[in-house]
Amino acid sequence: MGSPYTNTKRKRGTSRRLQKSSKIALLLGAILLTCATVYTAFISLRSPDNSGTETRFPYGTIQELSSLRAFMPAYLSVNSSETILDNTRSIRIAGEVMHGGISENFVLFKMRPDRMLFTLKRDRYEITYGVIGPKVWRRVRAPQQEDTLSLIEGKEVDTWHAQAQFFDRIIESHLGNGLITGIESADWLGNECLKVHITDAHDQEVAIFIDPFSMHPIAERKKLANGSTQQTEFFDYHDVDGIPIPFHIIASIDNKVTTHTRIERAALNTGIVSRLFEVPDSLR
């Protein structure tokens, strides 16, 4: 993906010190999109029963769970609830992302239905992306320099809109923002699992691998525009205010690891105010 410093309306000169950081901002944001969903503590996959009898997992057999009618209630019973869907309005996540031998801190805010603020920091430099409705903006902040403010345009806007989605693709599809096109039996590291095919609200086709013991996402896989395959794996789930979240996320492209993300803190409904996401006055 090209640098997010392209396809913008610039109000002031840009700072080159953060160009390298900005190249991973979209990728990290995409990884964190899944962190806003509802999870429970991860239970590792077990080897299936090879005795000839289909294994019955806690929520049904693979054949049973391959039916959307059986899959969706089981998935929601673990990964969501009516109370969570009704009462969860915002999330705040902070942690560290490591890529190419570089470590950077990040803070992510999301507010339903479509607001997001993502800040990536290194030393005294930081780059922030904001999403509010149809608008996407960026701010680069450096010592002893004026802030660089830009409105994002082109295909990059669609990417950030997808990342501002609050819940994961399966739950969003359940809410009408996407379509589950199929569920089938699959293999993950030699263990039986479910593979859910989704076309999301932004026409992105994604395969999500589900642990049949816990009904949690293990990983997601999708094709990028250049033909490469991006894969994101989820580990180390923590319960956060009743919503378990994966605190370790590994992203790779064509089987080459690109980022390790470690979440340090996460909280729900922390009183985030709407004006935090608003487009800066100078860009209006």
Distances (CA, A) of 175 to 67, 85, 200, 212: 18, 10, 11, 22
Give the confidence band of 9 by pLDDT, cuts at 50, 70, 90. very low
Of 40, 248, 15, 231, whose CA–CA distance to 138 is shortest?
Answer: 15
User: Do the Cβ atoms of 5 and 14 come closer than 8 Å?
Assistant: yes
Per-residue pLDDT reduced to its tens digit, 54-68: 889 999 999 999 999
Residue 139 confidence (pLDDT): 95
Per-residue pLDDT reduced to its tens digit, 138-163: 999 999 899 999 999 988 888 888 88
Tokens found for residue 41: 């503590």
Of 151, 190, 205, 153, whose CA–CA distance to 48 is shortest?
Answer: 190
- Omega within 30 of 0 (cis) for the link into 58: no
Per-residue pLDDT reduced to its tens digit, 77-112: 888 777 888 888 999 999 999 998 899 999 999 999
Per-residue pLDDT reduced to its tens digit, 186-232: 999 999 999 999 998 888 899 999 999 988 899 999 999 899 999 99
pLDDT at 19 over 80: no
Residue 8 confidence (pLDDT): 36
Give the confidence band of 267 by pLDDT, cuts at 50, 70, 90. very high
Residue 181 confidence (pLDDT): 97
pLDDT at 12 over 80: no
Specify burial of residue 263 (Cβ count, 10 A radius: 0-12, 13-18, 19+).
Answer: buried
Query: Which residues, including other chains, have CB under 8 Å from residue 100's CB and lie 6 or more apart?
Result: none
